[in-house]
Amino acid sequence: MSLDVYLEEIVEGREVYSANITHNLNRMADEAGVYACCWRPEENGIKTASQMIEPLESGIALMKADPSRFEKFNPNNGWGSYENFLPWLENYLAACRSNPNARVRASR
């Protein structure tokens, strides 16, 4: 199972960004404070990419400040890791900064 995230232009509905990551990283995401915004944006009042910027920045900063805190959440089955989740979050943040008015959508 995986998480698919999308940023879409509000007017035209054109997809401007999409990414996929394994659900195995949900505990790491929760520890970093980004689970709610990444996995369940619609349940947390997040509609546009601009609303994702602060939580993503905070989560990324936490993860960079203490990698070992988050590496302990690396799944035993090898599907997903700190080493691939952090760049995934950084790419998502960059897309949100580039498209702040885009609609956020997640598919679980």
- Specify the DSSP element, H or E, that contains 52: helix 50-65
Could you state, in order of their start, the residue ranges of all structural domains in the chain? 2-107
| Res. 101: pLDDT tops 90 | yes
Q: What is the pTM of this model?
A: 0.96
Residue 12: per-residue pLDDT: 84
pLDDT tens string 15-56: 999 999 999 999 999 999 999 999 999 999 999 999 999 999
- Distance CA(56)–CA(60), nearest Å, equals 6
